[in-house]
């Protein structure tokens, strides 16, 4: 499966945003900690599904391989979003193209001045925008002019490509994928899972009517602390994007230093001391090593 950047014409159009994007990334990175600090972005909800946004550092418990860890970084303020939005353009998406485009445009309209988004598509090939940007005009143009349906559904390969494209970025790295089909890629699912856990990527997925999201994708999403939506034909895709955006806006930043620093995969659990609340957070991470 070939992975390429979007067309040269679009790249040229986007190039003007570089000088604007890079200072934003440098000036607005909220997370500051030692090289060994693990940043988590838990989402907390009540029994009725409402997001809980008034917790403090003392309300959280982090268990690293079952042992309590000291929380060294905390914030309840909105964290900048660094995201790759991956849209399924396989042949079966022909009937959904307008619906997907308009709903994705609503996501673009909702991004803030400190957020950055890269748009990608997957079908006959995997194409990723060369730039991360918060320029809504640029992102809207890509969505209106650079979506071409056709081909199969290389979902896992697209997830892998999206994560690779954000590998050098700091902060909260999120992959958002919209798809209606069953994966046809040749990517190693084990490699994709390892990359997601090792990089602490957060994965969200919206499954359109059809066979929906496969169980292995749902399991991967749960491991990363992300979320997923399986929609029926009558469901509103725009509402799913709105809920997704709301969740990204109301996640906490909780940082801790793992022990031991052994370079191994650790099991992770994030809880709150308040009863009746549910916490969604990564379930595993890779500890750093002593230098």
pLDDT tens-digit readout, 169-209: 988 999 999 998 778 888 899 999 999 999 999 999 999 87
User: Is it the case that residue 16 has pLDDT exceeding 60?
Assistant: no
Please spell the DSSP secondary structure of 168-188, one letter per residue.
Answer: T--S-EEEEEEE-S-------
Q: Which stretches of 53-154 are DSSP H helices?
A: 97-110, 136-145
Phi, psi angle pair for 239, to nearest 5°: -65, -35
- CATH number attached to the domain at 3-10+79-249: 3.40.50.410
What pLDDT is recorded for position 44?
98
- Is the pTM for the entire model greater than 0.85? yes
Which H or E run includes 194? helix 189-198
Q: Where are the domains of the chain?
A: 3-10+79-249, 34-78+253-286
Q: CB within 8 A of 270, min separation 6: which ones?
A: 40, 42, 60, 61, 62, 63, 254, 279, 281
Residues found in the chain: 291
Among 26, 38, 21, 7, which residue's Cα sits nearest to residue 257? 38
pLDDT in tens, 47-59: 999 999 999 999 9
How does residue 34 score in pLDDT terms, banded at 50, 70 and 90? low
As a whole number of angstroms, the distance between CA 127 and CA 146 comes to: 10
């Amino acid at each position: 499966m070939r992975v390429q950047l979007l067309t040269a014409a679009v790249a040229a159009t986007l190039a003007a945003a570089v000088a604007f994007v890079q200072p934003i990334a440098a000036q607005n990175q909220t997370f500051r900690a030692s090289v060994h600090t693990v940043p988590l972005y838990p989402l907390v909800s009540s029994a009725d599904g409402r997001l809980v946004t008034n917790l403090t550092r003392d309300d959280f418990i982090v268990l690293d391989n079952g042992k309590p860890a000291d929380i060294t970084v905390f914030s309840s303020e909105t964290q900048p979003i660094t995201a790759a939005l991956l849209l399924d353009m396989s042949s079966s998406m022909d009937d959904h193209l307008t619906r997907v485009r308009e709903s994705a445009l609503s996501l673009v309209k909702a991004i803030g001045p400190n957020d950055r988004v890269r748009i990608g598509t997957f079908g006959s090939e995997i194409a990723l925008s060369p730039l991360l940007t918060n320029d809504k005009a640029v992102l809207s143009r890509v969505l209106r002019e650079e979506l071409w349906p056709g081909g199969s559904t290389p979902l896992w390969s697209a997830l892998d490509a999206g994560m690779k494209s954000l590998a050098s970025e700091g902060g909260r790295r999120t992959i958002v994928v919209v798809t209606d089909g069953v994966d046809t890629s040749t990517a190693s699912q084990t490699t994709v899972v390892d990359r997601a856990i090792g990089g602490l990527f957060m994965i969200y997925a919206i499954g359109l009517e059809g066979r929906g999201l496969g169980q292995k994708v749902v399991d991967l999403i749960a491991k990363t602390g992300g979320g997923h939506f399986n929609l029926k034909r009558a469901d509103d895709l725009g509402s799913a994007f709105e809920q997704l955006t709301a969740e990204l806006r109301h996640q906490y930043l909780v940082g801790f230093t793992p022990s031991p620093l052994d370079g191994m995969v650790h099991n992770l659990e994030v809880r709150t001391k308040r009863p009746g609340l549910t916490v969604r957070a990564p379930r595993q991470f890779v500890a750093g090593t002593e230098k």
